[in-house]
Amino acid sequence: MRVEVPVTVPLPPIETVTFATLPAKFYVGTYPRIDVVVTDTTDTIRDDIAVQYSTSDPAIATVDRFGELTLHQDGPVELTATAASGHATMSIDVVANPVTSLALEVSSDEARTGDVLRFTAVANDARGFSVRDVPVSFAVGGETASGILASGASAHVLPDGRFVAERSGVYTVLATTGAHTERRSVTITSRDVRRDIEVVGRGAVRDRRSSDLWVWEGSDGRDYAITGTWGADGHAIFWDVSDPTNIEKLTETQVDARTINDVKVSEDGDIAVISREGASNRRNGFVVLGVGNPREGVPVLSEFTDQLTGGVHNVFIAEDHVYALSAGRRYDVISIKNPRAPERVGRFELATPGHSVHDVWVSDGVAFSSNWTDGIVAVDVGGGGQGGTPERPVELGRYRYPSGWNHAAFPYRSQSTGKFYLFAGDEAYPYGGISGSDDDDQMPMRTAGWIHVIDWSDWNNPQEVARYQVPEAGTHNFWVEDDVLYVGFYYPGGLRVVDVSGELMGDLYKQGREIARFVPFDPNGYTPNAPFVWGPQPYKGHIFFSEFNSGLWAVRLADKTGPAPVIGEPR
100-126 pLDDT per residue, tens = 999 999 999 999 999 999 999 999 999
CA-to-CA dists, residue 52 to 12, 82, 125, angstroms: 19, 5, 35
433-458: per-residue pLDDT in tens?
554 455 555 677 789 999 999 999 99
What pTM was estimated for this model as a whole? 0.93
Q: Of 198, 123, 111, 122, which is closest to residue 155 (Cα–Cα)? A: 111
Query: Which residue, among 470, 514, 508, has the nearest Cα to 489 in the 3D structure?
Result: 470
Instruction: Tell me the average pLDDT across 37-56.
Output: 95
Q: Rounded distance, CA 57 to CA 62, Å?
A: 8
Mean pLDDT computed over every residue of the chain = 95
Residue 446 confidence (pLDDT): 84
pLDDT-wise least confident of 19-33, 56-70, 171-185, 466-480 = 19-33
| pLDDT at 269 (0 to 100) | 97
User: Which stretch of 1-10, 266-275, 408-417 has the lowest confidence by average pLDDT?
Assistant: 1-10
pLDDT at 571 over 70: no
* Cα–Cα distance, 405 to 417 (Å, whole number): 28
Which pLDDT belongs to residue 416?
Answer: 98
Cα angle: 376, vertex 378, 380; to 5 degrees: 165
Amino acid type, 496: R
Give the per-residue pLDDT at 435.
45
Do residues 515 and 205 touch, judged by C-beta distance below 8 A? no
SS3 131: coil
124-148: per-residue pLDDT in tens?
Answer: 999 999 999 999 999 999 888 877 8
pLDDT tens track for 407-436 = 999 999 999 999 999 999 999 998 865 544
* DSSP symbols for 279-333: -TTS---EEEEE-S-GGG---EEEEE-TT-TT----EEEETTEEEEEETTTEEEE
The confidence score (pLDDT) of residue 468 equals 98
CB 240 within 8 A of CB 222: yes
C-alpha span between 320 and 489 (Å, rounded): 31
Beta-carbon neighbour count of residue 277 at 10 Å? 19
Could you give the domains of the chain? Answer: 14-95 (2.60.40.1080), 101-189 (2.60.40.1080)
How would DSSP label each residue in 143-160?
A: EE-TT--S--S-EEE-TT
Report which of residues 353 and 157 the model is more confident about: 157
pLDDT digits (tens, 9 = 90+) for 500-512: 999 999 999 999 9
The β-bridge partners of 72 are none
The pLDDT, as a whole number, for residue 309 is 87
Weakest mean pLDDT among 347-351, 479-483, 558-562: 558-562
Residue 480 and residue 486 in contact, taking contact as beta carbons nearer than 8 Å: yes
Q: Binning pLDDT at 50, 70 and 90, where does residue 253 land?
A: very high
Which of 512, 469, 467, 461 is closest to 493 using CA atoms? 469
Question: Percent of the chain at pLDDT above 70?
Answer: 96
Distance between CA atoms of 476 and 473, rounded to whole angstroms? 10
Whole-number pLDDT of residue 211 = 98
Arithmetic mean of pLDDT, 383-395: 98
Helix (H, G, I), strand (E, B) or coil at 217: strand
Cα 453 off chain centre by: 5
Provide the CA 255 distance to its chain's centre, in angstroms: 33
Residue 148: per-residue pLDDT: 82
Torsion of CA 19, 25, 30, 32, to 10 degrees: -20
Label residue 561 by pLDDT band (50, 70, 90): confident
Q: Is the dihedral of CA 111, 113, 115, 120 positive or negative?
A: positive
pLDDT of residue 53: 97
* CB distance 187 to 194 below 8 Å: no
Phi-psi region of 210 (alpha: psi -120 to 50; beta: other; left: phi over 0): beta
